[in-house]
Structure 1
Amino acid sequence: MSMNIALSGLNAARSAISNTSNNIANAETAGYRGARAHFGDLFSSSPFSPVKTQTGNGVELQQIRRSFEQGALENTGNILDMAIEGRGFFTLRDQNGGQIYSRAGAFGMDRDGTIVNNEGLELLTRPVAANGAPLGGGAAQLSPLSIPMKSGTPQATGAADLQVSLPANGPLSTPPFDAADPATYAESTPIEVRGADGTVRDATVYFARTQVPGGGTPDTIYTAHLVVDGTTMTTAAPELTFDADGQMTAPGGPISFTGAGDTIDVDFAGSRLDTGGFAVDRYAHDGRGLDALQGLEVDDQGVIWASYGDQAAQAMGQVALAGFNNEQGLRPLGSASFAATQASGDAMIGGPQTEGLGSLRASALEGSNVDLTEEMVNLISSQRNYQASAKALETSSSLTQTIMNIRS
């Protein structure tokens, strides 16, 4: 019996050392909740033995209880890093669609713009109005938050200004025009043209020299051709006429190019002949693409705001926090995350600073709540207990050996 008692002491001390070692190993793990081993004595009574003469039967590990005290906060500079000050857990969705809970707030965006943690688990948020006011949302109404990389109202290019300097000297181009044959045009330049969805289209303006001074005329004529997405657009009057001084005398306004249901008016005003090479002096157009994501902001209510171009910031969603009646009933899953159980009760979902939940700090992480000094003291104490139990086992073994020697 005494050997079993000593062995239970060894096992208990080993469990305590393992628990303390795990705490020390996770001292730098963001959101980690330190644990403490709790033990109880074993005692069995017999109706045939007086209570005053009975000893215990050893010790057993009853429970590993976690500490949910606040950990230290550290500023990181990453806007999607978030820390909870007070009660609550971040609500995440795992690969199977279930909800898990964590205090580790290191978040970022995946390639689709969805906010995820280091393991790729999606952060769940509550819906909000345009002004950022929460629209409620229980556990069933939570959803992952995907931040669009672009936003806004696109506009197709309908008008463009293109001012060029064309060579005053050079051979005539060979008609008819063919974008694939350099002999049919003298110069070309790509230009930006946007479609109805705001995307940039493949567009090039070609200039074919169709008349040179001589034969009683001092004028030089270049014919303009616009090719968009491989289609040569048509126009009634594509000629650019230049006088002997190199100044453009015609046309008097924009040239309308039509094709594939689109019309683009290109104004070549200010273009001229030059003794040097070809150059684009100016280009502008009225097309507009989608505005790219400029930045994110998380306010103290947990509302995530996205900024696009010169638009006002848009409210995207509110970080959902979860609270539990019995946090000790949560089941650890690793990576500083937990699952709800019958013992913990159902999650109570709310926003920061509501429903008894804590506040949220952006650009910060909550560190482990492990106290290294305390853990080192616990480690020394557990080691001492282990050595004492080992000594008791050794003594019991010696007594047994003595008895065996007497019988022999």
Structure 2
Amino acid sequence: MSYYTSLTGLKNAQTDLNVISHNIANAETNGFKKSTTHFADIVSSSVVTDPSLTVGIGSRVAEIKQNFTSGAVEQTGNALDLAIGGEGFFTTVSPTSGQTQYTRNGAFSVDGSGYIKNAEGGRLQIFPNTNGTVNTAVRQDALVAPTNAAGSTLASVTIDQEGQLVASYDDGSSINVGTVALANFTSPTGLKQIGDSSWKVSGKSGPAAYGAPGSGAFGPINSGQLERSNVDIAEELVDLISAQRYFQANAKAIDTATQISQTVINLRT
């Protein structure tokens, strides 16, 4: 039993090392959220087992939990670099698969067709403005026309703290394109990671609730800034040492059990 017990500890230590390594590897990834490993014990018992004689038989990974605390903010000066000053996720839709994704990485740019997209090609979602009112019931791709009705070329795109997306043209005119759509969830830790600092809805997260920046629980948008990873390198290195010691201790327990077994075998021979 001691072999199996220590083997579960080795496997768990390996999982912990993998999670910590992943955190460290993404310390410079914008919008990345670190994860922590939580363990639970395994107990061998039945309805007739004497509680005073119950023996544990190891441990297991109970949960790998995501931490959605905000990361540090970096000033970039780029108008389409966006950071959410509080709760909420940017909503993007892939033009090829139609899949809706959520991210805290606000590094956006305008493509040749005028769509505002992220590095993976996902198009930023906005609410249309209807008669001066934000219509949060409808979401659409953020699209700025390369030229206006007068034929003037697009000069700049700006987004204020309330998420108002304004396109300005060479002739001095401007067009309010819409309002950036933010999403929130009952249980963000239940979101499914899909890579590229993005997530999608799962049964554990609950459906997305949408709203405008700066309203309700949604934070304002800060243009010209990017949210960095929330990984603390010093903390991760301490956790790495702890996980390594955990691995070594379980390996030592297996070695000790092997020596005891060998001693018993030698006695019998």
State the 1:129 CA deviation: 4.5
What CA distance in whole angstroms lies between the structure 1 residues aligned with 2:176 and 2:226? 23
State the 1:404 CA deviation: 2.0
Pairwise mapping of residues 209-248 of structure 1 onto structure 2 (< 5 A)? none
Residue 121 of structure 2: aligned partner:
120
Unmatched 5+ stretches in structure 1: 154-289
Q: Does the aligned pair in 1 maintain the 2:70–2:230 contact within 8 Å?
A: yes
Given candidates 343, 351, 359, the residue that maps to 2:204 is 343
Pairwise mapping of residues 67-146 of structure 1 onto structure 2 (< 5 A)? 67-94=67-94, 95-129=96-130, 133-138=132-137, 141-146=138-143
Q: Does the aligned pair in 1 maintain the 2:40–2:61 contact within 8 Å?
A: yes
Deviation per residue, 1:324-366 (Å, 9 max, x gap): 0111111111111111112111100111012311111011100
What CA distance in whole angstroms lies between the structure 1 residues aligned with 2:175 and 2:54? 73
What CA distance in whole angstroms lies between the structure 2 residues aligned with 1:152 and 1:373? 55
Q: Does the aligned pair in 1 maintain the 2:6–2:250 contact within 8 Å?
A: yes
Residue 58 of structure 1: aligned partner:
58
Could you tell me which amino acid in structure 2 is paired with residue 330 of structure 1? Answer: L
Pairwise mapping of residues 194-205 of structure 1 onto structure 2 (< 5 A)? none
State the 1:134 CA deviation: 4.1
What CA distance in whole angstroms lies between the structure 2 residues aligned with 1:135 and 1:317? 8
Residue 22 of structure 1: aligned partner:
22
The TM-score normalised by the length of structure 2 is 0.96
What CA distance in whole angstroms lies between the structure 2 residues aligned with 1:83 and 1:303? 14
For structure 1, which segment, 95-104 or 47-56, has the greater mean C-alpha deviation from structure 2 after superposition?
47-56
SS in 2 for 1:311: coil
SS in 2 for 1:5: helix
State the 1:390 CA deviation: 0.4
State the 1:151 CA deviation: 0.9
Q: Does the aligned pair in 1 maintain the 2:136–2:212 contact within 8 Å?
A: no
SS in 1 for 2:242: helix
What CA distance in whole angstroms lies between the structure 2 residues aligned with 1:380 and 1:341? 33
Deviation per residue, 1:106-163 (Å, 9 max, x gap): 1001111111101111111110147xx443133xx2111121111133xxxxxxxxxx
Deviation per residue, 1:209-265 (Å, 9 max, x gap): xxxxxxxxxxxxxxxxxxxxxxxxxxxxxxxxxxxxxxxxxxxxxxxxxxxxxxxxx
RMSD, aligned α-carbons:
1.3
Q: Does the aligned pair in 2 maintain the 1:126–1:134 contact within 8 Å?
A: no
SS in 2 for 1:402: helix
Residue 243 of structure 2: aligned partner:
382
Residue 316 of structure 1: aligned partner:
177
State the 1:49 CA deviation: 4.2
Deviation per residue, 1:4-57 (Å, 9 max, x gap): 000011111111111111101100100000100010000121455422222211
Residue 368 of structure 1: aligned partner:
229
What CA distance in whole angstroms lies between the structure 1 residues aligned with 2:219 and 2:249? 45
Residue 165 of structure 2: aligned partner:
304
The TM-score normalised by the length of structure 1 is 0.64
What CA distance in whole angstroms lies between the structure 2 residues aligned with 1:374 and 1:301? 35
Q: Does the aligned pair in 2 maintain the 1:104–1:365 contact within 8 Å?
A: yes
SS in 1 for 2:52: helix
SS in 1 for 2:83: strand
1:6 matches 2:36: no
As a proportion of its length, which structure holds more strand?
1
State the 1:86 CA deviation: 0.7
Deviation per residue, 1:61-111 (Å, 9 max, x gap): 011101111111111121111011111000010231121101011100111
SS in 1 for 2:65: strand
What CA distance in whole angstroms lies between the structure 2 residues aligned with 1:39 and 1:121? 36
SS in 2 for 1:57: strand
Given candidates 226, 245, 254, the residue that maps to 1:393 is 254
For structure 1, which segment, 45-54 or 378-387, has the greater mean C-alpha deviation from structure 2 after superposition?
45-54
Residue 232 of structure 1: aligned partner:
none
SS in 2 for 1:22: helix
Q: Does the aligned pair in 2 maintain the 1:134–1:318 contact within 8 Å?
A: no
What CA distance in whole angstroms lies between the structure 2 residues aligned with 1:58 and 1:46? 16
What CA distance in whole angstroms lies between the structure 1 residues aligned with 2:126 and 2:141? 6
Unmatched 5+ stretches in structure 2: none
What CA distance in whole angstroms lies between the structure 2 residues aligned with 1:135 and 1:361? 19
What CA distance in whole angstroms lies between the structure 2 residues aligned with 1:126 and 1:134? 10
What CA distance in whole angstroms lies between the structure 1 residues aligned with 2:257 and 2:30? 46
Residue 266 of structure 1: aligned partner:
none
What CA distance in whole angstroms lies between the structure 2 residues aligned with 1:405 and 1:100? 62
